[in-house]
């Protein structure tokens, strides 16, 4: 069995409709927060380092890809856009930007 097939089996529980919809919603909320209030995660205006903004943007792109049902075929693509890695990142990003949503 190929490694990419193993990764597909690993991500199979998240391929169901409710999880994909929740991931797309979380990615859209985080993208809106990043675009409307970048000072919440920007390195010069917040207490976070330079790595936070690109990491959260990766989480948004992974969440959109998985939420829309796109599945990369290549091994590097499956490793890069693994939904199990994106879920904690999206939740952490939503926690960081909660002041945008809740006054």
**What distance in Å separates the CA atoms of residue 8 and residue 53, rounded to the nearest whole number?**
28
| Secondary structure, 3-state, 7-18 | HHHHHHHHHCHH
* Ramachandran sector of residue 48 (left: φ over 0; alpha: ψ -120 to 50; beta: rest): beta
**What is the value of pTM for the model shown?**
0.81
Find tokens 């991500």 and name the residue: 11
Q: List pLDDT tens digits, range 37-64.
A: 888 777 676 666 778 888 999 999 999 9
Q: What is the pLDDT of residue 101?
A: 82
Residue range 70-97: average pLDDT? 88
């Amino acid at each position: 069995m190929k490694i990419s097939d193993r990764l597909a089996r690993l991500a199979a529980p998240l391929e169901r409709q409710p999880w994909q919809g929740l991931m797309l919603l979380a990615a859209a909320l985080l993208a809106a927060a990043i675009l409307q209030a970048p000072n919440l995660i920007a390195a010069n205006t917040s207490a976070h380092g330079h790595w936070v903004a690109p990491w959260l943007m990766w989480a948004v792109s992974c969440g959109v890809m998985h939420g829309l049902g796109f599945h990369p075929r290549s091994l590097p693509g499956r490793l890069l856009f693994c939904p199990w890695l994106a879920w904690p990142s999206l939740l952490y990003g939503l926690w960081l930007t909660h002041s945008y949503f809740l006054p």
